[in-house]
């Protein structure tokens, strides 16, 4: 699908320095893909906010000890 996007001359000049004019569309499409994926990730993060309660976790009393125990219980970890 074609899409018309207006860009200022300085932005196009910088784009052309990075990629050839023949590769503009592919470059811009990849940037849009990445940007949309970032937006989807932020949507997921915002949707998860508040999903965990503030108390009642195994790590509440000693977070450092809890992390250490988790690491030691995983045989695939080195050290």
Neighbours of 39 (CB within 10 A): 10
Query: What pLDDT shows up at residue 52?
Result: 85
Q: Tokens 């250490």 sit at which residue?
A: 68
Could you report the per-residue pLDDT of 7-58, keeping only the tens digit for each? 999 999 999 999 999 999 999 999 999 999 999 999 999 999 988 888 899 9
The C-alpha atoms of residue 39 and residue 28 are separated, in whole angstroms, by 16
* Contact between residue 33 and residue 41 where contact means Cβ atoms under 8 Å apart: no
Task: Tell me if the pTM is above 0.75.
Answer: no
Q: Domain residues of the chain, as ranges?
A: 25-49
Residue ranges of alpha helices (H) inside 1-79 are 9-18, 24-48, 63-73
Dist. CA 78–CA 56, nearest whole Å:
30
């Amino acid at each position: 699908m074609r899409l018309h996007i207006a860009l200022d001359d300085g932005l196009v000049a910088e784009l052309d320095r990075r990629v050839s004019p023949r590769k503009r569309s592919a470059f811009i499409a990849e940037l849009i893909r990445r940007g949309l994926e970032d937006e989807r990730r932020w949507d997921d993060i915002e949707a998860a906010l508040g999903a965990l309660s503030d108390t009642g976790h195994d790590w509440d009393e000693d977070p450092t000890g809890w992390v250490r125990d988790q690491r030691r219980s995983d045989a695939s970890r080195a050290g």
